[in-house]
Structure 1
């Protein structure tokens, strides 16, 4: 659970309360250690932490614009939120590529990666890692994360997740949407792949206004499918 808070000096922060129902605090130690080793413009800053008995919390910088999801799902976008053009989405995608998993934005729409959870940080030489439990959000995590028969978990699993996020940004919808009018459109990656093969991605297909926007969107689609 994440709460919005304010420090004595007036600075807003995001306070993440950790689940302490299992383990001996190792989850908290792992998360603090992982995040404290990172320093990057596209990674949300860990400002501090609290530990009192079984209560534990992480204090992050506050992202006033909320998450990326609030801006890319067209049917859920509220009138008071700005529409993001294909070029803006492309720039955000570049920022996403510089980090991992969950995104938030600051007031200048600079992508910020947040909520590491128990993300396991590995060196690039560790091509295959062992994970006792599958972690991540269904629809974004690679098959090998939850199905051991597919292969070992590696840095390539993050590439898969990145690709799924890019496709969702371009499509302006969840990659799996059972509420669409045609069954062929339920799984967006498969549906859009058919148009890529036919080289038939037109502006109206994605609700875009110009050929230039469509060109950028097509580039993002290709990257997403490659991932």
Structure 2
């Protein structure tokens, strides 16, 4: 199928992805899961979650293979790869940035996909790893949510779930996953991750920047909020047209609402879609964010105030090596 793994499309925390072709000439992406502790759980999470879905903004699982320790997942091929390639400015090899209109359509598509996972399935699916790397784009730049290795299923009527450890990727993990004093873990945890990703799409940079010299740059939401408050251009360094600035402002306001510290203050994904499709002038500016996600060592017993102080300190000492995916054993 993959011609002996000839063409590698990418790699992530759960395995490498190769280009393949089925006998009917349909091109596919084949993810070979790494052999490690938790591999079986990741594999079963992915299969059990995604086989319950059918939505234009969720990647389609075409099949899977499990032979002993060797496990593979076969997906529809997304020719434009992952969103992160288009929004981070890394140098001369960076792929050309997407237009603001395309970014706006991508933002709405991801929101619809998440709303479907939270409300449209017979069983509610919480993804727990929403980030640009896990958003795939087809030939028309239609976004599809992928990588369900950390997903959790819960009865549709229930919104809160119990969890022993934080799961997700540093920088996108909601505060309540680190410390229960902020609230219960629920679908609002995905809303937080979505909001942080939305701000990255506008700012054109990762929300963790190890080489930043200014504190407001290090804590990304403050950097974004300050630019919004000052009326500065919100894009990554370039002057943009009024219509594009309107899109950037709308995405920024929605993103800042999504990353509110307490889950009860964040909108649902249904409300997010309404805000994205509505008039910017009708959107209220949210309160300034008060903390960032702490690192893995944040104590579960910390009070809200001490965690806030600790997380601000830790955000200024975060390195690129921290940008890994955390796993849990429930």
Instruction: Give TM-score, length-normalised by structure 1.
Output: 0.88
165-174 or 202-211, which deviates more:
202-211
Counterpart for residue 139 of structure 1: 171
Q: Which runs of 5+ in 1 are unaligned?
A: none
1:16-46 C-alpha deviation (Å, 9 max, x unpaired): 2234544694543332111100000011100
175-184 or 137-146, which deviates more:
175-184
Counterpart for residue 86 of structure 1: 100
Counterpart for residue 209 of structure 1: 240
Offset at residue 181 of structure 1 (A): 5.3
Name the CA distance, whole Å, in 1 between partners of 2:112 and 2:240. 29
135-144 or 179-188, which deviates more:
179-188
Distance 1:204 1:143, change over 3 A: closer
Q: Is the 8 A contact 2:59 2:75 kept in 1?
A: yes
Q: Is the 8 A contact 2:57 2:113 kept in 1?
A: yes
1:57-79 C-alpha deviation (Å, 9 max, x unpaired): 11111112111000001234736
CA RMSD of aligned residues (A): 2.3
Distance 1:73 1:54, change over 3 A: same
What secondary structure is seen at the aligned counterpart in 1 of 2:169?
A: coil
Counterpart for residue 60 of structure 1: 75
Name the CA distance, whole Å, in 1 between partners of 2:229 and 2:223. 11
27-36 or 106-115, which deviates more:
27-36
What secondary structure is seen at the aligned counterpart in 1 of 2:73?
A: strand
Name the CA distance, whole Å, in 1 between partners of 2:155 and 2:78. 28
Counterpart for residue 158 of structure 1: 190
215-224 or 4-13, which deviates more:
4-13
1:1-227 aligned at under 5 Å gives the runs 1-4=15-18, 5-22=20-37, 25-76=40-91, 78=93, 81-100=95-114, 101=130, 102-180=134-212, 182-198=214-230, 200-202=231-233, 206-227=237-258
Distance 1:18 1:196, change over 3 A: same
What secondary structure is seen at the aligned counterpart in 2 of 1:121?
A: strand
Offset at residue 147 of structure 1 (A): 2.5
Offset at residue 51 of structure 1 (A): 1.1
Name the CA distance, whole Å, in 1 between partners of 2:234 and 2:205. 16
Offset at residue 9 of structure 1 (A): 3.1
Q: Is the 8 A contact 2:199 2:224 kept in 1?
A: no
Aligned length: 225
Name the CA distance, whole Å, in 2 between partners of 1:208 and 1:122. 45
Name the CA distance, whole Å, in 2 between partners of 1:219 and 1:126. 31
Distance 1:87 1:191, change over 3 A: same
Name the CA distance, whole Å, in 2 between partners of 1:30 and 1:146. 22
Name the CA distance, whole Å, in 2 between partners of 1:176 and 1:70. 16
Instruction: Give TM-score, length-normalised by structure 2.
Output: 0.62
Q: Which runs of 5+ in 2 are unaligned?
A: 1-14, 115-129, 259-330
